[in-house]
Amino acid sequence: MMPEPDDTPRASPYADGATELWNAGWRGVLPTKRPGTKWPIPEGYTGYEGVYPSYADLMAWTEDKPASNIALRMPKNIIGIDVDAYDKKQGAVTFARALELWGPLPDTWISTSRNDGVSGIRFFTIPEGTALRTIIELDGTKDIEIVQYFHRYAIVAPSVHPLTSSTYRWVMPDGTDAPETVVPEPHELPTLPDRWLTALEAPIVDTLQPVDVQAALRDMPGGQMDLRVTDRLGHALADLQAGAGSRHDTTNQHVLALLRLAEQECAGVPAALQTLREAFAFVVIQDGSRHSIDDARNEFDRMVTGTRGHALIAATPTISLEVLAGLAPTPKDTTCSTSTAGTALDAAGAAPHDPTTAPVAPNPTPGGSTPGSTSTTPPTAASSGAAASPADTRNSAHPDPTPDAPTPTATDGASSSTANTSATGAPTAGVSAECPVTPAAGTNTATASASPSAQSPTAAAAATTNAPSTGTYTTSAEAGSAPAAPSTDGDDAAWKADCDWFWTTRPSLAAVKTWAAARMCSPWSVLGVIMCRALTTIPPWITLPPIIGGRGSLNFFVALVGNSGGGKGTSESCAADALPCDCYIAPEGSGEGLAHLFIRRVGKNPDDIERVRNGAMLSIAEVDTLASIGGRTGSTIMPKLRNAFSGEEIGFSYADASKRLLVGKHNYRLTVSLGVQPERAGALLSDAGGGTPQRFLWLPTNDPDISRVRPTEPPPLKIPEGGTVWGSYARSIAVPAVVEDTVLDAHVRRSQGHGDALDGHALFVREKAAVALALLDGRTDVNDNDWTLTGILMDMSDRTRASVSTTLSQAEVEAARAMGRLDGMRRAESDDAAGSERVQRIGRRIVANLEKYGPETPGYAYRRIASRDRDYVEEAMQIQVAAGVVVLEAGVLRLPNQSLPPTE
């Protein structure tokens, strides 16, 4: 009876197993560069031009890399059919369909780390010189890959799987596990049946002429992405999100498809490649399959600059994309020049890009790990632009870019293997964030950050450089490695660049942007509602940590600013489809009614109270509704909303116990989506003294980049939710040190009499927003990148609220003029146009000075105005005070949202 195999991970897999494989007749016995990984491997030993190692190489690696895994490169007459049938992968279905179509396979040796009976690599011989497609895709299912001498390699026993820590083993043709010292001999492997060979064989391209890759990239039509390019990019990003199959090969397919579209004069391919590069880099860093952003960037660069892929495109103008995909694998490990392609791509550059046409990247799945920084700047071309030299393809287990193949035949594609270079062996946590997305006008490439915490979520993919406004595609070599989040200071162009950067930082945000573009909504307002929906799913006993005072509630308020019918309703509808989750939507009501959203009385006794739900989102269509409720005699909506923001009691302690209905502190989750028309926002802004407007995140419902050309909707977002995620006990969400430091420093300043006492509300809003972004990214704790991103969100909020104040001020001044309520305004109307304009201009200057310098006496305000205009200062002050734009209190001028300075 055969002994059971020992599944204890080996301390020295390469040293223990390499010699046995060599002695059995295998020559491509390579080590991974690091223990417990699937890649990279030593350069120059894979790809079409890769050499096979010598026995001396093997001995040296045995001594230098004993703990590395074994990467077995195929001989030219052997292939491996790699079936992935675990988690959500479809390999079992695809394999069964292939057997049905092409007949049974002979029993053979299998390399696997799985125990499902299907997953693993099955080895067969083929006629030498035969090239097969690199994946099998049938009836829409895939997850089977063909490992060949030029494409990938197999991780074999006694290697250790990097994610599951399971030991790889050999399964013999009779279905039993081989003893540790027994390995297959190449000559004894069965032959792949003819029907399979015919079905999998790739078309033969007899000769490939040298191609000037630099010129091909330079000549790509730039500008805004057309519909075909947008659609291809959308599919590429969705495939990255789905995580089915090999990230490298999936992306390879789409890169080659995009290059083919460029050859066919489709506009916007450079922008699409830039976007895809960022998404790819982010995903492979997050899922742990790549160890540095430079590796990920260079890997994508080689997809774009692979000379074989460009040569095939030039040589086969009529061949279908799916067939082309199987012919042009790109070397994943190849070391190639990154300077020339960048220049070519820059020359091709994309014109200012319409965000509505830029599909979005994937969003993370629940439980995703904290993202690393991923920056991505586009590819590079072969430095000479001529045919590839051996060095161009030597280092890769991955072939050139290839498009998807929707035909019921074998095609090149995206299948992750239990034993291939880019596979992780288990499904990734999903793209989290940091990367992907829509390259917008003024944005160029994302620069990488070596430290995930140093940058925004996609610091690597996110750290965009302010390159030319054409939004061109730059290489790593050109961009350099020093990343930095965009500045939020400066002119409108800098702010636009910051906003573009925000949406390119992570797949979840990219997905929001694409959903908004597909539904013709503002991405900011859609994001605001999605954040409300996401936070509503968090149980009320989960809070922010008690940095100052007690625990902080995650109750969250958003003000969606726009004209009536300008987008709040459509934003909420879009958000509901983009993030389907357990979120009860409640209509507006009075403060007394808030408690009834969560509990109700079911009997006459005081204790006959039943909980209805833990969380609700209050949707208030118009700020007028809130104003009318707040204006009712005895209404408590404003103070109750302020209480709710902090998780305080929102019930009422009536003397009559039969009327008493108390919900309890931190015992409910409430989010609010409020529609605000700027001209009617007075009711909300007038409560600035109580801090109500500061408790809202203000976001616009208008989008200057909206277009009737709409991208395809990406898959819905997913977030961690449910009892198994959060548990049933009270706890605080972890936040990084930068959050705690910011909150503490601000509190010290306020306590010392500096700054506005209401600023603390803004920081509280920012903390909650950071949790929402983390949740969309598939995490339940906040990281530095979340905090960086919320800086952009808060800037947008400040700008939006300021624009509302300006609009409201203008509306009130116009009303005052029309009614003739003020002598000063009447005088201004009767004066000549120049005098009227001067008064208005001085009034704006007074407001601007108060914003800049803070509250001050009328005398100081007077002296800040140029002497030539001082005759009009008093009139301008009267108008601003009468309109409520400026408050005169205790002899001090201030804005409604400012407090009087402390007295000595």
Residues in the chain: 904
Q: Which of 11-15, 22-26, 421-425 is predicted with the least confidence, judged by mean pLDDT? A: 421-425
Q: Give the H/E segment covering residue 731.
A: strand 731-732
Answer with the residue of higher pLDDT: 780 or 399: 780
Encode pLDDT of 576-630 as tens digits: 999 999 899 886 654 446 788 888 888 777 677 888 899 999 988 877 666 555 5
- Distance of alpha carbon 244 from alpha carbon 141, whole angstroms: 10
pLDDT at 694 over 80: yes
Closest CA to 512 of 704, 237, 794: 237
> Which residue did the predictor score with more confidence, 228 or 781?
781
**pLDDT at position 603, please?**
76
- pLDDT value for 566: 63
Our measurement of the distance from residue 276's CA atom to the centroid of its chain's CA atoms, rounded to an integer in Å, reads 12
Q: How far apart are CA 383 and CA 809, in angstroms?
A: 59
Cis upstream peptide for 540 (omega within 30°): no
Residue 437 has pLDDT above 50, yes or no: no
DSSP secondary structure of 588-633: ---HHHHGGGTEEE-SSSTT-EEE--SEEEEEES-HHHHHHHHHST
Tens digit of each residue's pLDDT (9 = 90 or more) over 186-218:
999 999 999 999 888 875 555 556 677 777 788
Residue 250 — very low, low, confident or very high, per pLDDT cuts 50/70/90?
confident
pLDDT at position 758 is 52
**Reported confidence tier of residue 435, pLDDT bands at 50, 70, 90:** very low
**If you average pLDDT over each of 15-29, 235-249, 432-446, which comes out highest?**
15-29
Predicted confidence (pLDDT) at residue 150 exceeds the cutoff of 80? yes
Instruction: Output the pLDDT for position 57.
Output: 84
Greater pLDDT, 418 or 25 = 25
Write the DSSP symbol of residue 168.
P
Please state, in angstroms and rounded to a whole number, the distance separating the CA atoms of residues 889 and 881: 10
Higher-confidence residue of 26 and 261: namely 26
Q: pLDDT: is 423 or 38 the higher one?
A: 38
Give 251 or 352, the one with higher predicted confidence: 251
Taking Cα atoms as reference points, which of 565, 558, 571 lies closest to residue 519?
A: 571
Q: How confident is the model at residue 336 (pLDDT cuts 50, 70, 90)?
A: very low
CA distances from 270 to 304, 384, 444, 675, 798 (A): 10, 20, 11, 38, 34
Cis peptide before 40 (omega within 30 of 0): yes
The pLDDT value given to residue 438: 34
Structure confidence at residue 324 as a pLDDT band (50, 70, 90) = low
State pTM to two decimals.
Answer: 0.44
The string of pLDDT tens digits covering residues 716-732 is 999 998 767 888 888 89
- Average pLDDT of the residues in 68-75: 94
Domains observed in the chain: 13-200 (no CATH), 213-405+431-507 (no CATH), 519-715+729-735+795-800 (3.40.50), 820-894 (no CATH)
C-alpha closest to that of 309 among 288, 328, 324, 296 = 328
Which one has a higher pLDDT value, 234 or 26? 26
Answer whether residue 159 shows pLDDT above 90: yes
Name the residue with tokens 């020295």: 12
The listed range with the strongest mean pLDDT (94-103, 472-481, 586-595) is 94-103
Work out whether strand 669-676 and strand 615-620 pair parallel, antiparallel, or are unpaired: parallel
pLDDT of residue 430: 31
Q: Compute CA distances 725 → 541, 570, 595, 775, whole Å.
A: 13, 30, 26, 11
**Residue partners of 255: CB distance under 8 A and separation at least 6:** 273, 276, 300, 303, 304, 309, 401, 402
pLDDT exceeds cutoff 60 at 88: yes
- Report pLDDT for 163: 81
**Which of the two residues, 841 and 684, has the higher pLDDT score?**
841
Q: Which of 63-67, 311-315, 419-423 has the highest mean pLDDT?
A: 63-67
Region 51-78: mean pLDDT is 90
